């Protein structure tokens, strides 16, 4: 197996373990709207927002030059 494949499999196993361990429901108050979602979904959503924001800022900086 290639190194990238092994690293991807390890990350996938860690993701599954993370999702299994964080199934508890979290209640959030976002401005006026109460939200309830699993903790794992909340963390993955925050990660996705962070990655998207970083990607957009990187693209903005590249195009600005």
pTM score of the predicted model: 0.66
H/E segment holding residue 43: helix 39-64
Closest by CA to 40, choosing from 12, 9, 15, 11, is 15
What pLDDT score does 54 carry?
Answer: 94
d(C-alpha 15, C-alpha 37), whole Å: 18
The pLDDT tens digits of the residues spanning 19-63 come to: 889 889 999 898 889 999 999 889 889 989 999 999 999 988 888
In sequence order, the β-bridge partners of residue 34 are: 29
């Amino acid at each position: 197996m290639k190194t990238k494949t092994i690293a991807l499999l390890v990350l996938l196993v860690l993701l599954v373990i993370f999702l299994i361990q964080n199934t508890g429901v979290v209640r959030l108050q976002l401005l006026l709207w109460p939200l309830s979602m699993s903790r794992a979904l909340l963390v993955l959503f925050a990660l996705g927002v962070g990655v998207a924001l970083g990607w957009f800022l990187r693209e903005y900086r590249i195009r600005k030059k």
